[in-house]
Chain A
């Protein structure tokens, strides 16, 4: 999902982005390039977590309105601007779930599901798919989020860390624990 960039390219992009943010902090009209850059990614992040497309568009819009409202408080900490946007997106999403405006949804590709099952069992059977889907419901929300980002969205640990506010190593450890938990649930005899 994330492009593989050299450290030099990354720092160049971060610097360019920092300048865009500073301009937007002076005048909200200059937020447009940042909006265009991240609209699609934020929309897809939300779309995969809600069951209706229109809701995803609405939540995406409110994420950017909230971003504009809080822009004066934003401080550059060497992370991509998108990590801040993802955090707003996460909070807007959970607000919609609390207000019961949207249903918590997990969008999964069957191929990915098959790969996970083949890693854990000797052969792939339809009943294992159903079992794994059932066990996903037993995970805590934060564990589900990590598995969702790592396996179903193929995000790097660095990216997961940026979205969740964890360090890359911490994201790796917590994802590993979440996978272990799911594996335990999966192999539990009912």
Chain B
């Protein structure tokens, strides 16, 4: 449903700047990079194999 707003006030440049936080964006990017990395669990099968061999 399309919503039409007339004469809607826009936040000032200062207000927008207060929400400007590059470190937060960078942290979110680094976190996602870590979580989405397919090689993140590469060592798990090795531990399983090691346990099997030890037994």
Residues of B within 8 A of A61 (CB): 24-25, 28
Among residues of B, the one whose C-beta sits closest to the C-beta of A113 is: B6
Residues of A20-61 contacting chain B, CB below 8 A: 28-29, 31-32, 35-36, 39-40, 43-44, 47-48, 51, 53, 57, 60-61
Among residues of B, the one whose C-beta sits closest to the C-beta of A54 is: B19
- Asked if A109 CB lies within 8 Å of chain B CBs, one says yes
The CA-CA distance from A95 to B23 in the complex, in Å, is 24
B7, A69: Cβ atoms closer than 8 Å = no
- The answer, among A65, A69, A104, for a CB contact under 8 Å with B2, is A104
- The answer, among B1, B20, B26, for a CB contact under 8 Å with A29, is B26
A68, B7: Cβ atoms closer than 8 Å = no
Among residues of B, the one whose C-beta sits closest to the C-beta of A50 is: B3
Residues of B within 8 A of A39 (CB): 16-17, 20
Interface string of B1-22 (1 = CB under 8 A from A): 1111111101101001101101
- Asked if A184 CB lies within 8 Å of chain B CBs, one says no
Residues of A within 8 A of B11 (CB): 47, 53
The total of interchain contacts (Cβ-Cβ below 8 angstroms) comes to 75
Main secondary structure of the interface of A (DSSP, over half): helix
- Asked if A157 CB lies within 8 Å of chain B CBs, one says no
- The answer, among B6, B7, B10, B22, for a CB contact under 8 Å with A47, is B10
25 pairs across A/B with beta carbons < 8 Å? A32-B22, A35-B25, A36-B22, A39-B16, A39-B20, A40-B20, A43-B19, A61-B25, A61-B28, A64-B25, A65-B25, A68-B29, A69-B29, A69-B32, A105-B2, A105-B4, A105-B5, A106-B3, A107-B5, A109-B6, A110-B6, A110-B7, A136-B4, A137-B2, A137-B4
- Apart from A43-B19, A110-B7, what are 16 other A-B pairs with CB-CB below 8 Å? A29-B26, A35-B20, A39-B16, A40-B20, A43-B16, A57-B19, A65-B32, A68-B25, A69-B29, A103-B1, A106-B2, A106-B4, A109-B7, A110-B6, A137-B4, A144-B2
Task: Identify the B interface with A (CB < 8 A).
Answer: 1-8, 10-11, 13, 16-17, 19-20, 22, 24-26, 28-30, 32-33
Task: Identify the A interface with B (CB < 8 A).
Answer: 28-29, 31-32, 35-36, 39-40, 43-44, 47-48, 51, 53, 57, 60-61, 64-65, 68-69, 103-110, 113, 133, 136-137, 144
